[in-house]
Amino acid sequence: MLPLAKRRKKTMRKQRKRKKDGDKKDDKKEKKDKKKDYKKDDKKTWIMDPATDNYYRWLSIIAVPIFYNLMMVITRACFNELQDTYTILWVILDYTSDALYYIDTYVRSRTGFLEQGLLVKDTKKLLNHYIKTPQFKYEILSMIPTDIIMLKVGYNNPELRFNRLFRMGRLFEFCDRTETRTSCPNIFRISNLVLYILVIIHWNACIFFAISKTIGFGTDTWVYPNISHPEYGRLARKYIYCLYWSTLTLTTIGETPPPVKDIEYLFVITDFLIGVLIFATIVGNVGAMISNMNASRAEFQAKIDSIKQYMQFRKVTKDLEARVIKWFDYLWTEKKTCDEKEVLKNLPYKLRAEIAINVHLDTLKKVRIFQDCEAGLLIELVLKLQPQVFSPGDYICKKGDIGREMYIIKEGKLAVVADDGVTQFVVLSDGAYFGEISILGIKGSKAGNRRTANIRSVGYSDLFALSKDDLMEALTEYPEAKKALEEKGKAILMKDNLIDETVANAGADPKDLEEKILRLESNLDVMSTKFAKLMAEYMSYQKENKTDTHCECTHRYRDEEPDQELKLYKSITGL
């Protein structure tokens, strides 16, 4: 019995070990399979995001073979000498462009698109979306290997490659993307238009040579001269002559030999019609582009003219008129004529905030009282900064003026001067600021809200202004930041001995109470007008409803009146 029990135990142990080993192997296999699937998923998830620079780079690459086929297929088909001389070169370029076409089809099938604002990464969806696009059929046609026919017919038939032009949509897409990306869109549009015209002239020249070859060189005065002549037999002369003829015809200059045969007449008529359309397109597009380029100048000049007329009408002194014109000249030469709010108003709030942060945040952080403020408050203040330009000799503020703005110097120099306007005490340069205490309205300040110095612009100065109203509007959402700013302002005033501590530690300032009362009164006026409008609308609505209900009641009474009379008659007669 004992040996049997031992054997059973041994067999049970072996079975357990086998199970464990099997489970471990299965786990390893599962892990390997998971890794393989993960790698496959990684490979499958590769897509081309159309919003990235890589997509634009690929468009620039695929535009090269498309433009090559656009220009050279027609040239090689018409000028046989060009095709025969460089056959090996054309074979290499043709098959390279075909390979790029196939790669582009793969890229197109993996190009993402937005669905509910998110980029689709599912390869099946991307493929189905690509198949449903109208470009899919044309791009498949452009990939048909028509070169196989050349194996039987001969490679000197490049016209079999005309199907490669069905991929022209990618070239147009590249041009559109470049126009949106370039910093000189008007120049690009003009150059693009010139390129289109040159392509049309090139194709027309090749067709003219092909028609001349079909009719016979030198058979009449209209066709290309006889190529047996050594001067007209050169390839360069053939192409330049045809290009010259095409340019004269399409530009409607018409200094070419008249046509003789019917086919020649038809071709010239078609060319003249195309030339008229091209000329009209050139005039219209170039005129629109030039007007767009000069739109800002025309708008600026209109402002100057209106101000000149106003100054002449009001008989402003010549000295002041000259200063105004110089100020406008400075704005134009320094390219400071654009209204930032007008330019950025079409952008969403977040993008406007990011641009303002990128441009102005470092400038605002230089101000002492704003150095430790919350990021949200700084963003609010950055959006409220107003650029201002001052001419030489202009006073930014004078002693005793009420301080309603603070200023930050972006560019230029300001001088703190005496009452005579000549004696300079201090010169403020880029990054300096002043007036930050006056807009806080700190209680107990000896100067109050009054300016304590005369500040004058030395030359042309660019400043940023932040008004008191804008600051208080921003601080309504940040009460803690308001307290912190007031404490900082008090500390600065105490350091300079410009604060009356007894008044500062006293109760509420009566001036502040008066301002609050005035604000409440203005708000009540606004609310009362709004309430009056709402009441008027409500009363008119009630009147309309009453008239409608009255009409319904009268109709019901008229309908019910005969029945009531009949009932009354029956009750009286006893029927």
Q: Of 478, 505, 532, which one is at a domain's C-terminal end?
A: 505
pLDDT of 41 above 50: no
Model-level pTM? 0.64
Buried b (16+ CB within 10 A) or exposed e, 10-35: eeeeeeeeeeeeeeeeeeeeeeeeee
525 within domain boundaries: no
542 within domain boundaries: no
**Which own/partner contact pairs does 443-448 have at CB distance under 8 Å and 24+ positions apart?**
443/503, 443/504, 443/506, 443/509, 443/512, 444/490, 444/493, 444/499, 444/500, 444/501, 444/502, 444/503, 444/504, 444/505, 444/506, 445/493, 445/498, 445/499, 445/500, 446/493, 446/498, 446/499, 446/500, 447/498
314 within domain boundaries: yes
- Asked if residue 278 and residue 421 are part of one domain, the reply reads no
Cβ(172)–Cβ(250) below 8 Å? no
- Asked if residue 300 and residue 215 are part of one domain, the reply reads yes
142 within domain boundaries: yes
pLDDT score, position 8 = 62
pLDDT score, position 31 = 54
pLDDT of 465 above 80: yes
- Asked if residue 370 and residue 499 are part of one domain, the reply reads yes
- Asked if residue 492 and residue 354 are part of one domain, the reply reads yes
Cβ(142)–Cβ(167) below 8 Å? yes
Buried b (16+ CB within 10 A) or exposed e, 128-157: ebbeeeebeebbeebbeeebeebeeeeeeb
88 within domain boundaries: yes
pLDDT of 522 above 80: no
- Asked if residue 459 and residue 365 are part of one domain, the reply reads yes
Q: How confident is the model at residue 164 (pLDDT cuts 50, 70, 90)?
A: very high
Name the average pLDDT for the chain: 82
Q: Of 181, 208, 228, which one is at a domain's C-terminal end?
A: 181
- Asked if residue 497 and residue 482 are part of one domain, the reply reads yes
Tally of structural domains, the chain: 3
Q: Of 306, 321, 337, which one is at a domain's C-terminal end?
A: 337
pLDDT of 33 above 80: no
- Asked if residue 428 and residue 461 are part of one domain, the reply reads yes
> What single-letter DSSP state applies at residue 445?
B
458 within domain boundaries: yes
pLDDT score, position 284 = 83
CATH of the domain at 251: 1.10.287
251 within domain boundaries: yes
Domain that holds residue 376: 340-505
Q: Which residues pair with 508 in a beta bridge?
A: none
Q: What is the pLDDT of residues 180-238, one digit of tens each?
A: 898 888 889 889 988 999 999 999 999 999 999 999 999 999 999 999 888 899 999 99
CATH of the domain at 353: 2.60.120.10
- Sign of the CA dihedral with 382 first, then 383, 384, and 385 last: positive
- Asked if residue 156 and residue 136 are part of one domain, the reply reads yes
- Asked if residue 171 and residue 201 are part of one domain, the reply reads no
- Asked if residue 440 and residue 314 are part of one domain, the reply reads no
- Asked if residue 380 and residue 317 are part of one domain, the reply reads no
CA-only gyration radius of the chain, Å: 42
pLDDT score, position 201 = 94
Q: What is the pLDDT of residues 167-192, one digit of tens each?
A: 999 999 999 999 989 888 888 988 99
517 within domain boundaries: no
- Asked if residue 271 and residue 219 are part of one domain, the reply reads yes
Coil, strand, or helix at residue 342?
helix
State the angle between helix axes of 185-215 and 235-250 in degrees (0 to 180), rounded to the nearest 10.
110
